[in-house]
Amino acid sequence: MFSVRRAAVSFTQKRAFSASAANPYKVAVLGAAGGIGQPLSLLLKLSPKVTELALYDVRGAPGVAADISHVNTNSVVKGYTPTPENLAEALKGAEVVLIPAGVPRKPGMSRDDLFNTNASIVRDLADATAKANPKAKLCIIANPVNSTVPICAEVYKKHNVYNPATLFGVTTLDVVRASRFISELKSTDPKAEKVTVVGGHSGVTIVPLLSQSNHPDIEGEVRDKLVNRIQFGGDEVVKAKDGAGSATLSMALAGFRMAESLLRAKDGETGVVEPTFVDSPLFKEQGVEFFASNVELGPDGVKKIHGIGDINSYEKGLIDACLVDLKKNIEKGVKFVAENP
Ligand code: NAD
Ligand code: LMR
């Protein structure tokens, strides 16, 4: 076993929380009328922690808002048509802003193939957020996450409002999938399967650490197949949807989990840990500025970035391959903002 970083990985999310009345939180979804945006907004409407839901999209947000507003929970839902004033209004006062705006993959495409379209969408939405509500926790779902998150950081730096503790690439779906896939293999309850997944959010940058799971005994061909399935789980959905997009429903669940965890931490709950792609010290020495690992969340966002813990030689190989791609993806995002401010 290699001790790459001192392990601070805790698989148990302690819920040492004395429940008091939840604070009222506004949450904004940019791209709310899309495949992810709609079910994500519905889940947020069901959350007692959300009292105001701002739904923004370049098309269709008022209709989605009208529909969701009939769900019989107390929160207020507002839909916004695409004007700069409306976008600013949607963002104002939001504790959490989620961005699923952008095009999804079609079969045969990589996430990086989405860069040309999605980079400018995310840049412009980050620009609006930096102006209207720079303190919001900004959760980026739009792909390629490995590049769109650095794009947001660069935009915030331009406005002198960058706070690394409030910028999150949403990689929750990778651990959702990993726990489901391992449970299928072992015939166990997926809820009891916690698999740490680190790195980034595409192909070989997705690194599951099975040696830290409940099943470190998975080895050889079975392990290789499982790792490959976790790394390329998104492709399964893209292929099955056959041109109609990528994961939307499982992603809505994953995005909701991330948003809710941020609100739980804001409410004072301790021990809230989620995997997320953040500005991270773990591999900065190798020139990799962002990295996904388990992160403890606090009222102000990132509280503690956990190390990757003990890994075996196979996983060290996966990390090495991850870092090569991740560095390029991050640099591409940074360069984009420098050249297209
Ligand atoms: P979709 O096409 O169904 O929805 C995207 C929505 O964004 C549309 O309603 C569109 O009108 C809107 N939009 C486009 N430009 C906009 C802008 N400038 N401002 C506001 N809204 C805008 O796509 P989807 O299936 O919801 O996927 C969205 C993105 O999420 C894709 O880039 C996809 O690759 C990514 N994704 C990420 C993960 C992840 O794990 N992080 C998982 C699944 C999908
Ligand atoms: C996923 O992991 O499902 C998303 O990143 C969408 C995709 O393109 O696969």
Rounded CA-CA distance 54/251 in Å is 19
Report which bound ligand comes closest to the CA of 110: 2
Mean pLDDT, rounded, of the chain: 94
3-state secondary structure of 18: coil
| Residue closest by Cα to atom 4 of ligand 2 | 234
Q: Could you report the per-residue pLDDT of 97-155, keeping only the tens digit for each?
A: 999 999 999 999 999 999 999 999 999 999 999 999 999 999 999 999 999 999 999 99
Is the CB–ligand 1 distance for residue 315 below 6 Å? no
Name the binding residues for substrate.
105, 111, 143, 177
Is the CB–ligand 2 distance for residue 143 below 6 Å? yes
Q: Could you report the per-residue pLDDT of 269-307, keeping only the tens digit for each?
A: 999 999 999 999 999 999 999 999 999 999 999 999 999
Residue 24: what pLDDT?
87
Kindly write down the DSSP assignment for every residue of 74-131, as one continuous string.
Answer: S-EEEEE-S-HHHHHHHHTTEEEEEE--SPPP-TT--GGGGHHHHHHHHHHHHHHHHH
User: At 267, which amino acid appears?
Assistant: D
Report which bound ligand comes closest to the CA of 32: 1
Name the binding residues.
31-37, 57, 105, 111, 118, 141-143, 177, 251
Name the band, by pLDDT with cuts 50, 70 and 90, for residue 23: low
Is the CB–ligand 1 distance for residue 253 below 6 Å? no
Rounded CA-CA distance 255/241 in Å is 20
Q: Could you report the per-residue pLDDT of 206-223, keeping only the tens digit for each?
A: 999 999 999 999 999 999
Residue among 143, 205, 236 whose CB has most ligand 2 atoms within 8 A, to mutate: 143
Residue among 114, 197, 251 whose CB has most ligand 1 atoms within 8 A, to mutate: 251
Residue 22: what pLDDT?
53
Is the CB–ligand 2 distance for residue 247 below 6 Å? yes
Q: Could you report the per-residue pLDDT of 145-181, keeping only the tens digit for each?
A: 999 999 999 999 999 999 999 999 999 999 999 999 9
Q: Could you report the per-residue pLDDT of 44-87, keeping only the tens digit for each?
A: 999 999 999 999 999 999 999 999 999 999 999 999 999 999 99
The residues annotated as belonging to the active site are: 201
Model ipTM value: 0.99
